[in-house]
Amino acid sequence: MHWTNTKRLLAGLAVATTLSTVALALPVEAASLRMAWSQDATGLDPHKQTAFSSLRLLELIYEPLVRLDEKLNVVPAIAASWDFAADGKTLTFKLDPKAKFTNGAQVTSADVKASFTRILDEATAAAARSNFLSIDTIDTPDPETVVFHLKTSDAPILVAMATVNAAIVPASEITAGSIGTKAIGSGPFKLDSWDPNSKEVLSANADWAGGKPGLDGITISVLPDETAILASLRAGQTDFALLNDPLVATLVPAEANMQLNRVPGLAYNVLQLNPSRKPMDDLKVRQAISCAVDRQQVIDTALAGEGQVTGPLTMPSFAEDPSTLFCYKPDLDKAKQLMKESSSPDGFTASVIAATGEPPYAANEAQVLQSQLAQIGVKLDIKMMELKVYVDTWLKGDFDMAVALNGGRPDPYPMYNRYFTKDGNLLKVSNFVDDTLDSLMKQGQAETDPAKRVDIFHKFEQHLVEQSPWIWLSTGYGYTAQLKTVHGFVGSPTGTLFGLAKVTID
Amino acid sequence: MSYVAQRLLTFPLILLGVSILVFVAIRMIPGDAITAMLGTEAGLLTPAQRASLAAYFGIDQPVTTQYFRWAAGLLHGDLGISATYGKPVLQIILDRFPLTLELALLSMLIALLTGIPLGVLAATRNERPSDLMVRILAMLGQSTPSFVLGLLIIYLLSVWFGIVPTMGTFTPLNVDPLANLGQMIFPAITLGFAFAASVTRISRSAMLDVLSDDYIRTARSKGASQRSVVWGHALPNALIPVVTLSGVEFGYLLGGAVIVEQVFALPGLGRLVLDAISQRDYALVQGTVLFIAMNFLIVNLIVDLLYVVLDPRIRLGGK
């Protein structure tokens, strides 16, 4: 009797399960997009958040004055037009009269001024503050006009404004102190609810100045395991997903009902050497390492081929053919010769830090580099660290070498100013001061002629690669996977999901 | 003083120890809420910006001041406010707890309903092929990591049947029982499989011991049927080690099954504490660990009381 009852119970459970999961797998709302990602946003204050997922969420809710399109051109957002004075010291914006916050209020020049005042206030701890230090005063001659007066000529400031970290928030919410708790923006979607590390529910903002979004809303689920995200797509339970792991992404094209969107990103994989430590203070040692590294092999082995060899400049409008850069063709003989002439002719042992799972291939990368550098007598001791421990160690510059995935910017100035100028705030991380780099960086900031800026930054790149404080390896791709019922998504090198504003679903 | 009252009086002391331990441990990990939020961009902060954020996260005070402030709150039932969620820690824990409790109960049910009968079967057919099969199955259960089994289940369901359990959010049992079961059954099987294996092994060996006892021989000689000997006489006495094992395991499960919750994207206590550690949300880590410790104490107390029910010869309190 007992056995029969147990069997009955188990059989009953199995049937109930199958029925319920079948019921659950059916699409619920056709016009609402079911999205999944493995890491959730960490907060709602657009001026403070820097985590990848936070930016991706906030870009759907908030708008900056200008944004970058998929080719990284500056295009209107809240500002309908702008004008940079010839001396590069006055920047005037005309706001879009249709721009409205989701609380119904018009976006005015007062909101712009209040937002930038908030960003510049040290007490806010705004992430992008350092990009706006050239701002002297902000005038608001009328509700639709904002004039930024700059202390020095600052060409990259326009691109620096094209980020959600410089979003325009309602002045009234700043006064109320509710930025970060209530998300009131002027973007294509409104945030209805957020359950951290579980899900976000967004609904379309019908009053969006950019036109009515193609979706009624977006529900974002946090599925920490990307294999589970793939399974969820396969079962039709998720329409659209953000993927980080190239190995998972490469499985998507094999699925008949799915499509992979792959966009080359601006972020770069790099082996950071610490030139303040021996023997990395020796140029010959650094160059020997650069010549011994086979960048394509790192991509093929550690990243399953998912990447492109890159120099320091990853943005298409500035990038050079990497094969023309110093020792980008692996040259083991030259590397050995350089080591022989260096302060460590017999090789040395150094530790290399890497973050567990961030990027997902960090450990593989460290291992390939370990085997490549062993050929010139450099013995690498790999130290894997939990991400936050790694970040802490990295910020202190407490490493011999570091395998890193560093974020890119659409302009070289904000991307490398922090590391390679004498007053860069991440000098402690790069530990590399060089007069030529410092001077080229300053020229690049002041120059307003685009062609001349490209020339300046090419010189910067060539000198940087020759000095080899870091060994730039590759850029990866930003991946999104979607069901074929989803149409119209356009990705961007910045990784933004703003393209979801124009997406429709069958 | 009764045994229960004595045990209850030790609770605050143990919890005090746990609270100090977790308070210190979480602060010993490198990185803080600021680097957790900003990542490498934290390096761009000016000292004034950093001070402002430290004040926001409540980490600007000396550690002892932070502890006493938090402990004072505890006495009023206030576990603090989570920096990530911007909500009271207790509320977040109570939101997540039903899932964890249900998962623990369901996997326990699966483990006991399969483990005990299999253990009894193996013991009564000692060294016969069916015993060997059960033992192999148990070995497999114990040696298969839950993430392997979980991913395998998800993979097979999605490839063969084109379905997956609902992931990411939790449908409570009282809202939609069928949807709830559909969501919970596979994680529960994943968790229950390994636990069932332990239960099988323990109940098999306990049954083998008991079946060779004199009173069983007496029962048989008095003409008791095999069924009544096994289920009526032997099993209740063989259950004590199973209860001990289940108590400990249940205590662990109430702390959240981190890996299974991660694989099936279930918002339970395990993931809550994992995410809180990774985001250096000190108040949330402290509150959750304390809550888990409290559960563990209560479960252990219940297990001790169950011994008395199962074996009236056991007297608690050492008298």
Element spanning A498, H or E: none
Size of interface A-B (CB pairs under 8 A): 192
In this predicted structure, what is the pLDDT of residue B173?
85
Query: Between these two residues, A371 and B278, which has the higher pLDDT value?
Result: A371
**Structure token digits, residue B294:** 């409290």
**Which residues on chain B are in Cβ contact (under 8 Å) with A181?**
86
Cβ <8 Å between A9 and B113? yes
Return the SS3 of A261.
strand
Contact B200, B122 (CB under 8 A): yes
In this predicted structure, what is the pLDDT of residue A106?
94
Distance CA A221, CA A239 (A): 11
Chain centroid, CA A124 distance in Å: 22
| Encoded amino acid at A428, one letter | K
Distance CA A311, CA A307 (A): 13
Contact A38, A222 (CB under 8 A): yes
Residues A183-264+478-505, CATH architecture: 3-Layer(aba) Sandwich (3.40)
Strand partners, A83: A92
A3 touches chain B (CB under 8 A): yes
Mean confidence (pLDDT) of chain A: 89
Multiple choice CATH, A52-176, 3.10.20.600, 3.90.76.10, 3.40.50.150, 3.10.580.10: 3.90.76.10
**Which residues on chain B are in Cβ contact (under 8 Å) with A406?**
40
Letter string b/e over residues A19-53, b meaning 16 or more CB atoms within 10 A of that residue's CB = ebbeebbeeeeeebbbbbbbbbbbbbbbbbbbbbb
Strand partners, A477: A264
* Among B42, B56, B164, beta carbon nearest to A235: B164
The alpha carbon of residue B7 is apart from the nearest alpha carbon of chain A, in Å, by 37
Cβ <8 Å between A392 and B37? no
A224 touches chain B (CB under 8 A): yes
The ranges assigned to domains in chain A are 52-176, 183-264+478-505, 265-476
The alpha carbon of residue B30 is apart from the nearest alpha carbon of chain A, in Å, by 5
**Which residues on chain A are in Cβ contact (under 8 Å) with B162?**
25, 234-236
Distance CA B50, CA B183 (A): 43
* Among B164, B231, B279, beta carbon nearest to A237: B164
Distance CA A355, CA B30 (A): 13
Distance CA B149, CA A144 (A): 60
pLDDT tens figures, B133-178: 999 999 998 898 888 999 899 888 888 888 888 887 788 888 888 8
* Among A224, A389, A418, beta carbon nearest to B44: A418
Reported residue count of chain A is 506
Taking CA atoms, what residue in A is nearest to B170?
A198
Q: What is the dihedral of CA B181, B184, B186, B189, to 10 degrees?
A: -100
Cβ <8 Å between A17 and B272? no
Contact A101, A185 (CB under 8 A): yes
The alpha carbon of residue B172 is apart from the nearest alpha carbon of chain A, in Å, by 14
Distance CA A467, CA A460 (A): 11
In this predicted structure, what is the pLDDT of residue A130?
83
Return the SS3 of A265.
strand
Taking CA atoms, what residue in A is nearest to B185?
A17
Closest by CA position to A501, among listed A108, A77, A81, A82: A77
The alpha carbon of residue B121 is apart from the nearest alpha carbon of chain A, in Å, by 10
This complex has an ipTM of 0.81
The alpha carbon of residue B250 is apart from the nearest alpha carbon of chain A, in Å, by 21
The alpha carbon of residue A228 is apart from the nearest alpha carbon of chain B, in Å, by 7
A51 touches chain B (CB under 8 A): yes
Q: Which residues contact B8 (CB under 8 A, 6 or more apart)?
A: B301
**Which residues on chain B are in Cβ contact (under 8 Å) with A224?**
262-263, 265, 271
| Encoded amino acid at A284, one letter | K
Cβ <8 Å between A6 and B265? no
Report the relative pairing of strands A348-355 and A401-406 from DSSP bridges.
parallel
Report the relative pairing of strands A378-385 and A348-355 from DSSP bridges.
parallel
User: What residues of chain A score a pLDDT lower than 70?
Assistant: 1-30
Q: Dihedrals φ, ψ of B281, to 5°?
A: -85, 85
A28 touches chain B (CB under 8 A): no
**Structure token digits, residue B260:** 């299974």
Q: What is the mean pLDDT of residues B288-307?
A: 88
**Which residues on chain A are in Cβ contact (under 8 Å) with B265?**
221-225, 228
**Which residues on chain A are in Cβ contact (under 8 Å) with B86?**
181
Distance CA A229, CA A238 (A): 8
**Which residues on chain B are in Cβ contact (under 8 Å) with A402?**
none
Q: Which residues contact A373 (CB under 8 A, 6 or more apart)?
A: A289, A292, A293, A379, A380
pLDDT tens figures, A210-232: 999 999 999 999 998 899 999 99
**Structure token digits, residue A251:** 């499985």
Contact A244, A479 (CB under 8 A): yes
In this predicted structure, what is the pLDDT of residue B258?
86
In this predicted structure, what is the pLDDT of residue A192?
95
In this predicted structure, what is the pLDDT of residue B317?
59
Identify from A198, A247, A409 which residue to disrupt to test chain B contact, counting B C-beta atoms within 10 A and taking the largest count: A198
Q: Give A78's Cβ-side CA count (13 Å radius).
A: 32
| Encoded amino acid at A353, one letter | I
The alpha carbon of residue A212 is apart from the nearest alpha carbon of chain B, in Å, by 28
The alpha carbon of residue B279 is apart from the nearest alpha carbon of chain A, in Å, by 8
Identify from A3, A15, A21 which residue to disrupt to test chain B contact, counting B C-beta atoms within 10 A and taking the largest count: A21
Cβ <8 Å between B29 and A389? yes
Identify from B32, B49, B59 which residue to disrupt to test chain A contact, counting A C-beta atoms within 10 A and taking the largest count: B49
**Number of other residues whose CB lies within 10 A of the CB of residue A58:** 25
pTM: 0.84
**Which residues on chain A are in Cβ contact (under 8 Å) with B29?**
386, 388-389
State the pLDDT confidence band at B318, using cuts at 50, 70 and 90. Answer: low
Distance CA A335, CA A341 (A): 10
In this predicted structure, what is the pLDDT of residue B163?
82
Residues A265-476, CATH architecture: Roll (3.10)
Cβ <8 Å between B44 and A127? yes
Q: Which residues contact B85 (CB under 8 A, 6 or more apart)?
A: A196, B92, B281, B284
Element spanning A476, H or E: strand A470-483
Cβ <8 Å between B181 and A17? yes
The alpha carbon of residue A123 is apart from the nearest alpha carbon of chain B, in Å, by 5
Taking CA atoms, what residue in A is nearest to B45?
A125
